[in-house]
Structure 1
Amino acid sequence: MNKILPLLLLFTFFIKVPKKNSQFIARQGQVTFFSYTSVENIEAKNNQVLSIIDIDKKEIAISMLMRAFVFKKDLMYEHFNESYIESDMYPKANFEGEILDFDKSITGEQTRIIRGTLTIHGISKEIDIKTKIENSNGSYLLTGDFITQVKDFDIKIPQILASNIAKNISIKFRFQYKPYEK
């Protein structure tokens, strides 16, 4: 028995137990924005948003192409990309953050704050976003919304149009994550 114990310990040392993957990916996340104006509401949707979360590290990263936003009118798309966001110079918006007080052992729903840096139009801003996190059958769903101001990202609006563009923009998001396979 004494000879078997060291052999058993040596054997267990060299066996690698597969570690559960803590990274999850959303390849087709959704971000929408809405701006109320007296002339015409402006709304757009982007269904091609990429996001990765690391549950163990409580980190999240989001990246989206600005030209992937879809508008009801082609002229809105053109103005958004050429005049306001300047998508040729600033093709992407990014967010990197940390999920505060997140408990990965909770199944079901929990509401947490995600604190991080949002970069749009080449300008970075620290923000906190209240987010609903649902853990179900080995996947995660993150949803939420927040308000941001156009001036925070140095987006220039011509004076003649200033009364037609809202100063606050409402942003909603929905990300369905699945385990990341390398």
Structure 2
Amino acid sequence: MKDVIKIIIICITWLLSHSLLAQDKFITQTGYTKFFSSAPLEDIEAHNNQVQSVIDFTKQEVVVSMDMQAFEFDKSLMQEHFNENYVESEKYPKAIFKGTFTNGSTIDPTKNGEYAVAVEGTMTIHGVTQPVTTEGTIIVNGPSINAKTKFIVKVADHDIDIPKIVFHNIAEEVEVTVDIKYSPLNS
């Protein structure tokens, strides 16, 4: 009887560990995004640590959603202008990216390592959806996944108007940096 119990425990342990290794969906509620604008009179930088994202390695897809009001600036007046005058965050509260890995490399979330990825998708900001193509890195380290990328967003592409009076303060292109740490969806 003891041998049967041992075999059952070994089988259950193997099944549980195998199902954890086969994990293909990862999620976060606390991803990080930064944007940086360099203009002749002033650099502007804002940080957001409340980025939600899901990555599905079986479908080779990623979705990222960020609350625009969660961006924090060094100067409160910049934050107020960003939310009220530029992105109109009460009317357009979220920025959303939906993309697919396109470089054909298969990421194995069970094998530690660094994977170069190309991602193609759409970014919706200020109610306007535009295509986005970027390259990044996915780092697998045990049960956690870290995704990193950097790309440029043209403000005019999302119908965000920059008044001529502040033209020298705000750049027409904004550099976006993404650094997201994921955990298994079913953990």
Question: Which TM-score band applies after superposition, normalised by the shorter structure?
Answer: 0.7 to 0.9
- Write out aligned runs for 1:32-47 (5 A): 32-47=34-49
* C-alpha displacement of 1:165: 1.3
The structure 1 residue matched to 2:69, chosen from 59, 67, 70, is 67
Match in the other structure for 1:14: none
* C-alpha displacement of 1:129: 1.1
Q: Which moved more, 1:78-87 or 1:34-43?
A: 34-43
Superimposed CA distance per residue, residues 6-62 of structure 1 (whole angstroms, 9 cap, x where no aligned partner): xxxxxxxxxxx6643311012210000000122221000000000000111111001
Q: How many residues align?
A: 166
1:149–1:169 contact (8 Å) kept in structure 2 = yes
Match in the other structure for 1:143: 148
Q: Please tell me whether residue 113 in structure 1 is matched to residue 118 in structure 2.
A: yes
Match in the other structure for 1:180: 185
* C-alpha displacement of 1:75: 0.2
* C-alpha displacement of 1:144: 1.2
Q: CA RMSD in A?
A: 1.4
Q: Please tell me whether residue 50 in structure 1 is matched to residue 55 in structure 2.
A: no
The structure 1 residue matched to 2:107, chosen from 94, 104, 109, is 104
Fraction of identical pairs, as percent: 40
Superimposed CA distance per residue, residues 122-174 of structure 1 (whole angstroms, 9 cap, x where no aligned partner): 00011111111111112211011011111110001112212321111011010
1:145–1:173 contact (8 Å) kept in structure 2 = yes
For the residue of structure 2 that corresponds to 1:56, the secondary structure is: coil
> What is the TM-score with the length of structure 2 in the denominator?
0.84
The unaligned stretches of length 5 or more in structure 2 are 1-14
Amino acid at match of 2:143: G
Match in the other structure for 1:154: 159
2:35–2:174 contact (8 Å) kept in structure 1 = yes
Distance (whole Å) between structure 2 residues aligned to residue 163 and residue 96 of structure 1 = 32
Match in the other structure for 1:133: 138
For the residue of structure 2 that corresponds to 1:86, the secondary structure is: coil
For the residue of structure 1 that corresponds to 2:23, the secondary structure is: coil
Match in the other structure for 1:170: 175
Distance (whole Å) between structure 1 residues aligned to residue 98 and residue 165 of structure 2 = 35
Distance (whole Å) between structure 1 residues aligned to residue 23 and residue 150 of structure 2 = 28
1:58–1:102 contact (8 Å) kept in structure 2 = no
> What is the TM-score with the length of structure 1 in the denominator?
0.87
Higher alpha-carbon Rg: 1
Distance (whole Å) between structure 2 residues aligned to residue 75 and residue 39 of structure 1 = 16
2:119–2:135 contact (8 Å) kept in structure 1 = yes
